Amino acid sequence: MDTGITKAVILAGGRGTRLRPLTNYLPKPLIPVLNRPFLEYTIAYLHKNSIDDIVLATGYLPEVVEHYLGDGSGLGVRLSYSVEKEPLGTAGAVKNAEKYLSGTFVVLNGDTFTDFNIAEMLAFHHDRKSRATIALTRVDNASAFGVVSTDGDGKIRGFTEKPVSGQITACWINAGIYLLEPDILRLVPPDRYCMFENETFPLLLQLNKSVCGYPFNGYLMDIGTPEKYLQLNIDLLQSKTKSAFIAEQLGRSGILCGKGVVVHDTAGITGPVVIADGCDIGKEVRIKGSVVIGRNCHISEGAIIEESVLWNNVTVGADVNLKRCVVTDDTLIESNRRISNSVITKSDGEVRL
């Protein structure tokens, strides 16, 4: 789909503090979702919309991200890197990437999965001659978020940060996806922390510039916590939203196995389940979807795994029972354990979701 936009900025610079302990091992953009780095999904989504010139605004372990993704040619895009020496905020990070930008461009958070229609949002943006258009999503309880108030034509009239109960006048919130005209970056000071949400956008309103809110009701998941990260994997397996890589491969069985996977005759697997290369599924193991298993994992006799994500080189001992867990690389889970609703790591042990 050709949207008419050629440039995108992905904000991938944060340390992912709320996502610890997962980000103790990998930068947030590279955390695996269905055994592929999360950022690949955002890049593939942009590529599908004919947006192939992408700037990654990075800060935490930028060399690791660049080493993995390179120039983007393997994903059919052109990647540039804008590195923050210190955290610059959403607007500051885009200002830091200003030399790469021209014409209308899209900004997305590097920890958000969405299926919104960029072409429709762009038509909305141009029709209203907006300088900045903010994607809005509806929530039942807006008290934990910044509320955005609009008029009947979609023009934003104001922002209310985390209103207390009884003061909520709207339930549309900022979804963290923006269409912007490059001239607004003149309002963003260089080399300092600055946020679109509470500085640049309110300033645009003060200057009587057109700022619009585009409501959409599609899928939106911020993987800012381990619980939400797990839920995204489950939602993709259950086709609650479309994956750029795996939906059709699961087929009717709902089971996708990589190369060299050995499954004992007495093991039982109920999809949706994705198992990467080189795994060994032992005698009388029960895997009950939704489950993701990374490369070279060993699941020992009698183990039961439900609604969980295992990264690479994980060993699950005999008669272990895992439910709603995330297990990071190189972790050994000793036999006869019963663990639920936890992140399990090699060095940190168990941390509740």
Residue-by-residue DSSP string for 202-245: HHHHHTT--EEEEE--S-EEE--SHHHHHHHHHHHHTTSS--TT
User: Which residues, at least 6 apart from 212, have a Cβ–Cβ distance to it below 8 Å?
Assistant: 124, 125, 128, 130, 132, 133, 134, 150, 154, 155, 156
- Give the per-residue pLDDT at 347: 83
Q: Are residues 276 and 334 in the same domain?
A: yes
Are 75 and 107 members of one domain? yes
**pTM of the full structure:** 0.92
Q: Give domain status of residue 134, yes or no.
A: yes
Residue 264 within any structural domain of the chain: yes
Q: What is the CATH number of the domain that holds 129?
A: 3.90.550.10
Query: Domain check: are 123 and 206 in the same one?
Result: yes
Q: Which of 48, 162, 240, 242 is catalytic?
A: 162
pLDDT of residue 1: 58
pLDDT of residue 152: 85
201 and 134 together in one domain? yes
In this structure, the answer to whether residues 315 and 188 fall within a common structural domain is: no
Q: Which residue range is the domain that position 78 belongs to? A: 7-222
Distance CA 324, CA 308 (A): 5
Mark whether 348 and 292 lie in a shared domain.
yes
Q: Residue 299 in contact with residue 261, Cβ under 8 Å?
A: no
pLDDT value, residue 25? 74
Joined together, the tokens standing for residue 124 give 């909305």
In a domain, 341, yes or no: yes
The answer on 307 and 274 residing in a single domain is yes
Same domain, residue pair 203 and 255: no
Q: Which residues share a beta bridge with 257?
A: 275
**How many domains would you assign to the chain?**
2
Residues 198 and 269 in one domain: no
In terms of domains, do 250 and 217 share one?
A: no
CB 119 within 8 A of CB 104: no
Is 129 annotated in the active site? Answer: no
| Domain presence at residue 212 | yes
- Residue 278 forms part of a structural domain: yes
pLDDT of residue 20: 81
Residues 47 and 145 in one domain: yes
pLDDT along the chain (353 residues), means of 10: 79 76 83 94 92 94 92 96 94 97 94 90 95 90 73 88 58 90 96 94 95 92 92 93 72 87 97 96 96 98 98 98 97 97 89 86
Element (H, E) at 133: strand 132-138
Q: Which CATH number characterizes residue 316's domain?
A: 2.160.10.10
Say yes or no: 97 and 197 in one domain.
yes
